[in-house]
């Protein structure tokens, strides 16, 4: 029997047909003007009542569910996150460092990592990733680079890495990096937002948690059947103060947790723990048939990264944004597009499940056929020029906040110090981070993103072709 303690407690509470004289104000959906299907769900939108436990001080169903989560992943302690992996990344950083502490961080980390460093007042030491030619994306940081960074900054309070990448690339050196960190008593923090499913089978790449990372955050909603914003945080370390971590989770997470979201996390954990080798072999067989079908589509290139839940699709002479638009006209919505390709995230199917792969393949073929009628895109794309393997920003986050700033045309910004982040989204990896000097490589990539129609977040006025920089003084 599959145990889902939170769901079971909610189901029991609902069966009692209790009268609501408490929040939320929709009163079991009875006051909602939404369609019936929404109101049915809202009957389970409960709050912290007797019999439903307390999210921030769990003693009953939530405690049991988190203990089952830790058992499933082989962690010392695991937590449900109701504010996404973002809150997990923030809590990890607050746990291991204090204002002014140095932290070695992967340069192509998610924007939430940079936000956490800024909020905590930490001093980032950026380590540059290698370029992954297969996926045409920034990949992982090499062992040699991490070793050099630790040697140069032995007072660093943590190493923060991403694994696997958004595009499904897996580092072959993560175990060696973990061992090195532990030899020097530096905790390894891993943003594993796209790796919650890795524990399902040994036919997937190894999770950072099983390799030896001290703190690992996973987005259950990305690759497991959890609701959006549902994530996990795992601890396996003698270098991390769990009570300090718990303190920041209580501080950073909502005091009004969504029980619907927690029930979906409970269910996602149960789904993973009941995923069998038969399920895995069936999934791989169906995936293989889908991939072979895609490869028969003329002009479509299919790239298979390390993680078998991910696929990349390219059409020569067309940008990923053009392919994304063509696919959406056929009612196929992908995870993201970049100048080269689109990224597909496949469902982690069990043997009992079905999925319309044949229909999707037909839609993709129609999209590619229509796309080939468009003119060839001959724009040369740039990826960032090789940066220094290890670098410190010119100004810290605290120093930037004290400086005067000004808007200038971005094509006149080379050599200036960035005062705001510029982040193509998705995947949410900053192209330019506050405090660093803007290079020609940055500007070439920014031009490419703009020309190909990418969505760009951050502090910018790109419609006026301006970006925010630190104002130069007269002495400069």
Q: How confident is the model over 232-256, as pLDDT tens digits? A: 999 999 999 999 999 999 999 999 9
Query: 442 - beta bridge partners?
Result: none
pLDDT at 1: 77
Tell me how far apart the alpha carbons of residues 95 and 240 are, in angstroms, rounded to a whole number.
8
- Would the pLDDT of 348 be above 50? yes
Structure tokens that stand for 158 in this block: 């943590």
What band does 383 get if pLDDT is binned at 50, 70 and 90? Answer: low
pLDDT at 238: 93
Residue % of the chain over a pLDDT of 90: 85
DSSP string, 185-238: T--EEEE-TT-TTGGG-TTSPPPHHHHT-SEEEE-HHHHSS--TT-EEEEE--S
- How crowded is residue 138: how many other Cβ atoms within 10 Å of its Cβ? 22
Which tens digits make up the pLDDT trace of 117-141? 999 999 999 999 998 999 999 899 9
Least confident of 152-166, 266-280, 462-476: 462-476
CB 95 within 8 A of CB 107: no
Measured in whole angstroms, the distance separating CA 239 from the mean position of its chain's CA atoms is 24
The larger pLDDT score, comparing residue 476 to residue 341, is at 341
CB 234 within 8 A of CB 246: no
Phi first, then psi: give them for residue 129, nearest 5 degrees.
Answer: -80, 160
DSSP string, 15-32: HTT----SS-TTTTTTT-
Tell me how far apart the alpha carbons of residues 363 and 81 are, in angstroms, rounded to a whole number.
36
Tell me how far apart the alpha carbons of residues 128 and 137 are, in angstroms, rounded to a whole number.
13
CA distances from 360 to 167, 296, 299, 309, 476 (A): 21, 14, 17, 16, 58
Helices (H) and strands (E) in the chain, counts: 16, 19
CA distances from 317 to 133, 343, 374, 375 (A): 18, 17, 10, 8
CB 368 within 8 A of CB 315: yes
What band does 473 get if pLDDT is binned at 50, 70 and 90? Answer: confident
Burial of 81 (0-12, 13-18, 19+ CB in 10 A): buried
Mean pLDDT, all residues of the chain: 94
What band does 428 get if pLDDT is binned at 50, 70 and 90? Answer: confident
Which tens digits make up the pLDDT trace of 52-70? 999 999 999 999 999 999 9
What band does 474 get if pLDDT is binned at 50, 70 and 90? Answer: low
pLDDT at 410: 94
pLDDT at 476: 45
Over residues 429-435, the mean pLDDT reads 88
Query: 215 - beta bridge partners?
Result: 189, 235
Over residues 187-200, the mean pLDDT reads 98
For residues 261, 267, 270, 274, the Cα torsion angle rounded to the nearest 10 degrees is -140
Over residues 71-91, the mean pLDDT reads 97
How long a stretch of residues is the chain? Answer: 476
Over residues 318-346, the mean pLDDT reads 95
pLDDT at 375: 85
Tell me how far apart the alpha carbons of residues 79 and 263 are, in angstroms, rounded to a whole number.
13
The larger pLDDT score, comparing residue 192 to residue 14, is at 192
- Would the pLDDT of 380 be above 80? no
pLDDT at 379: 60
What band does 395 get if pLDDT is binned at 50, 70 and 90? Answer: very high
Least confident of 103-107, 276-280, 339-343, 457-461: 457-461
> First vs last Cα of the chain: how many Å apart?
70
pLDDT at 385: 45
In degrees, to the nearest 5, what angle opens at C-alpha 359 toward C-alphas 357 and 365? 100
The secondary structure element, H or E, covering residue 124 is strand 123-127
Closest CA to 230 of 130, 341, 88: 88
Which tens digits make up the pLDDT trace of 449-465? 888 788 898 889 999 99
């Amino acid at each position: 029997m599959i145990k889902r303690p939170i769901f079971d407690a909610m189901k029991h509470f609902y069966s009692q047909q209790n009268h609501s004289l408490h929040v939320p104000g929709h009163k079991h959906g009875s006051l909602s003007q939404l369609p019936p299907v929404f109101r049915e769900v809202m009957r389970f939108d409960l709050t912290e009542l007797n019999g439903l436990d307390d999210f921030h001080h769990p003693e009953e169903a939530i405690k049991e569910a988190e203990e089952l989560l830790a058992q499933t992943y082989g962690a010392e302690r695991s937590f449900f996150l109701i504010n996404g992996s973002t809150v997990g990344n923030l809590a990890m950083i607050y746990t291991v460092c204090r204002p002014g502490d140095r932290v070695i961080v992967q340069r192509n980390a998610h924007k939430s990592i940079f936000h956490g460093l800024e909020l905590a007042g930490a001093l980032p030491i950026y380590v540059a990733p290698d370029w992954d030619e297969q996926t045409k994306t920034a990949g992982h940081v090499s062992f040699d680079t991490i070793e050099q960074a630790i040697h140069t900054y032995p007072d660093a309070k943590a190493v923060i890495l991403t694994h696997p990448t958004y595009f499904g690339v897996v580092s072959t050196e993560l175990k060696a990096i973990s061992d090195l960190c532990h030899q020097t008593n530096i905790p390894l923090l891993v943003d594993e937002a796209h790796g919650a499913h890795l524990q399902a089978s040994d036919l997937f790449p190894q999770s950072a948690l099983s390799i030896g990372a001290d703190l690992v955050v996973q987005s259950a909603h990305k690759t497991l059947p959890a609701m959006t914003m549902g994530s996990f945080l795992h601890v396996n370390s003698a270098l991390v103060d769990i009570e300090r971590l718990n303190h920041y989770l209580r501080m950073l997470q909502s005091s009004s947790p969504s029980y619907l979201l927690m029930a979906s996390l409970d269910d996602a954990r149960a789904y993973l723990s009941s995923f069998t080798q038969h399920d895995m072999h069936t999934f791989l067989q169906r995936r293989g048939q889908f991939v072979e079908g895609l490869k028969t589509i003329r002009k479509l290139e299919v790239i298979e990264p390390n993680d078998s839940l991910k696929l990349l699709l390219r059409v020569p002479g067309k940008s990923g944004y053009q392919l994304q638009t063509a696919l959406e006209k056929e009612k196929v919505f992908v995870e993201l597009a970049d100048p080269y390709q689109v990224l597909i995230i496949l469902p982690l199917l069990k043997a009992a499940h079905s999925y319309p792969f044949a229909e999707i393949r037909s839609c993709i073929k129609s999209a590619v056929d229509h796309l080939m009628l468009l003119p060839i895109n001959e724009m040369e794309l740039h990826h960032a020029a090789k940066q220094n393997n290890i670098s410190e920003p010119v100004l810290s986050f605290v120093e930037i906040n004290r400086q005067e700033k000004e808007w200038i045309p971005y094509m006149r910004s080379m050599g200036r110090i960035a005062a705001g982040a510029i982040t193509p989204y998705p995947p949410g990896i900053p192209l330019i981070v506050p405090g660093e000097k803007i290079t020609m490589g940055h500007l070439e990539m920014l031009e490419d993103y703009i020309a190909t129609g990418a969505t760009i977040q951050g502090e910018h006025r790109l419609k006026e072709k301006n970006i925010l920089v630190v104002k130069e003084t007269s002495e400069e």
